[in-house]
Structure 1
Amino acid sequence: MKKLKLLSLSLCLPFIFAGCSDNESEKDYQLELDGAVKNIHSNLQTALNTNVPSLSVYVVSPKGTYFSTVKGTNGTAVTPTTYFRFASNTKNFTSTAILKMMQDGWLNLDDKITQNIPGTTVPYTPDVADWNFPHKNEITIRQILQHNAGIYDLTNDTSQYNIGGETYADHMMETNPDFQFSASDYAKVLKDQNLTYGSPNTVYHYSNTGYTILSEIIARVYSQKINSTKTYGDYMYDKIVGPSAKVPLAIKFPELASDKQLPSPYVKGLIKYTDHEEITDLKNASAHIGEGNGLGTMVTLTTYIRSLFKGENVLYASSAEMMRTKTGVATTNGYGLGCSNFTGIGYGHNGATEGYLSMMAYDPKSDVSVIVLMPFWDLSSNDKFTRCLNTLNTTAIEAKRTLGY
């Protein structure tokens, strides 16, 4: 399946949830939100000259909690508790895991990834030949978080290395849909092909592969600290989202190539090509561990991003502020530690994985969080995909505007 390179990424069913009183003012907010979402969806269908399955937004604010969704003729109903693949929003969770380990004294952000895990004789990354990719000895954990480590992106970029015009990850998925990807697999390709964007802290370049390397670091640190072999998914379940976490959430991070089924109820993703369409709900998520393998609902993402940035989750308020802070060459890109600053919307991330587009953001000043979901890609042209991606921001901004923010 030919993919587009990514650099980062009608029936109206209104609901008013707990927290909204029944006065006329708040009913007007809901009606205006419904109208705005319906208008954005209609304009997008006109611009693309195609049906768009659905567009949904979930807003939590001091004025209440609101949900609005529009279903196209080719779509299915979406609710705030419908599961979907939230793609690169996963990076914010990975950053949270790294910062939690920092708080616990398990790692140091400015350690080189070749240094030993604190209190051990084991390095953060494997000390083997297949992991000797360019500039490895110079790269710090913080630089990977900020996408200024120079690590080449093997899932998005074909500029330096491709197989038949496809990224390494796409080629492997097509030739063997059940291929079990790993950080070691990616590291070997980086080493064998001598791939790099340059020395760390000299260039900003979004890199999914960098975050998969972070997932390996999380697994290795956790394994050392509890003296048992653990994975990235184990740490996320045990410490970040599972029943024992500070804020338990029904969020999953599948790591096995065979674990393709979403929990029910879920919405299917859809990709439109020039000559056909493809349903994309079943997916080998092992290609995106740590950078795009998360799945959850609009409610769980809202709970996560609000509690995180309010200092009510696993991170101290100071750590959450560190996540939002930009340093080095990343200062011109609005990207902190696994965190984007969306002008007029708030802090968080967005995500684009085959057939799914989403965004989660929280604005500390207004105490407003916004989640946007559109399970659709139009790959019939670059411009049309960009229009789809930009719809996330448009919807978030309009949702805040309707509430007076």
Structure 2
Amino acid sequence: MNVKIQIDELMRRYDGPGPGASLLILRDGQPFVRKSYGFATLDDRSPVTPETNFRLASVSKQFTAAAILLLAEDGKLSLDDSLRKWFPGLPDVAQDMTIRQVLSHMSGLIDYEDVIPAQMTAQLHDADVLEILETQNRTYFPPGKGYRYSNSGYALLALIVGKASGKDFARFLEERIFTPLGMTNTVAYEQGISTVKHRAFGYSEERGAWSQTDQSQTSAVLGDGGIYSSIDDLAKWDAALYDDRLLSAKSRALAFTPVTDTDDPTVRYGMGWRITQEAIGGRTLWHSGETIGFRNVIVRYPEQRFTIVLLSNRNDPEPYQTARAIANLLLK
């Protein structure tokens, strides 16, 4: 069977009259597959296209990490700075937490989603996460002595980017990453401030019907998951990770080198990237992202110069295994 037909078969659940997906397969920087399925919005039945922008959710973390690494290159911060240096209002437990630990989910910070005060009923922003964490004088483990995936930490990193650069996080990303790389439609979305071109809205299937579930209380937190992008723009991001056009070789090595084991024995974590060793394809750098109504993944096989990006505006299916199945068709 033709391999592109096999790929369409793996993507079949995204095709048809429901919310859809965009799929990009890059070989040596060139698109082998650049294809979209289903609808970006159900009310007007707008189809997904390669330009459609999806909320990346935690795929955003690689951009947050890159922003921190750029500022470290600029000498505006040190990865070994204490969080208390940047946020004096944090409790004493934060004194021994460093930016480096936060990048690799080794800080022990409390998950802000678990301790949102009852009076905070509006949509939260990164600054609200800081306010919540200022009340939490406890940790899950001593800083640097464990791993726990932390959206809290990445919200704080976005605030550090703002403090260290003198610009807000969204503007820093635009000026230092998105615009230089030609990612002209990618944005850290702020309602009332910015817009998302070619926007996909998120949906969840409930009792056989799709309902729009585009935003939750935490959807406006930028550092842990608030970036919108498309497969076309992420192709430019992928290209930039092979050379010095954005990050130095030293910074890329920091991002892509395993720092810690995770709660999955097959996965380690660098800075904004998960790292695995695959039987087919070798070393992979990847990250998934899921939030209400969106599920996404980017999987890079750098030694093969091969990348798969799968973005979807639906709560199911989970895309990582689909991406791996596609890679297993194409890599030997």
TM-score by length of 1: 0.70
In the alignment of these two chains, the number of paired residues is: 322
Runs of 5+ consecutive residues of structure 1 not aligned to the other structure: 1-26, 46-50, 116-124, 224-229, 379-387
Gap change, CA 1:402 and 1:249, over 3 Å in 2: farther
Quote the offset at 1:82 in angstroms: 0.9
In structure 2, which of residues 82, 103, 109 is the aligned counterpart of residue 112 of structure 1? Answer: 82
RMSD (CA atoms): 3.1
Q: Which residue of 2 aligns with 1:12?
A: none
Q: For 1:148, what is the secondary structure of its paired residue?
A: coil
Q: For 1:372, what is the secondary structure of its paired residue?
A: strand
Deviations 1:236-287 (A, max 9, x none): 1111112xx25554210124x4358531x22221023459753134677773
In structure 2, which of residues 204, 208, 211 is the aligned counterpart of residue 271 of structure 1? Answer: 204
Contact between 1:37 and 1:56, CA under 8 Å: does it hold in 2?
A: no
Alpha-carbon separation, structure 2, partners of 1:251 and 1:342: 27
Deviations 1:286-325 (A, max 9, x none): 73221111001111112202322x0243112232121011
In structure 1, which of residues 399, 402, 405 is the aligned counterpart of residue 326 of structure 2? Answer: 399
Alignment of 1:145-294 (within 5 A): 145-155=103-113, 158=114, 161=115, 172=120, 175-176=121-122, 179=123, 181-183=125-127, 185-223=128-166, 230-242=167-179, 245-255=180-190, 257-259=191-193, 262-263=196-197, 265-273=198-206, 277-281=210-214, 287-294=220-227
Q: Which residue of 2 aligns with 1:337?
A: 271
Q: Which residue of 1 aligns with 2:258?
A: 326
Q: Which residue of 1 aligns with 2:71?
A: 101
Percent identical among aligned pairs is 24
Deviations 1:37-81 (A, max 9, x none): 22x659xx9xxxxx8632442101148521244438x77522211
Rg larger for: 1
Counterpart check, 1:300 vs 2:238 = no
Q: Which residue of 1 aligns with 2:286?
A: 348
Gap change, CA 1:337 and 1:71, over 3 Å in 2: same
Larger deviation: 320-329 or 277-286? 277-286
Higher strand share: 2
Larger deviation: 271-280 or 312-321? 271-280
Alpha-carbon separation, structure 1, partners of 2:124 and 2:116: 19
Gap change, CA 1:232 and 1:260, over 3 Å in 2: closer
Q: Which residue of 2 aligns with 1:60?
A: 26
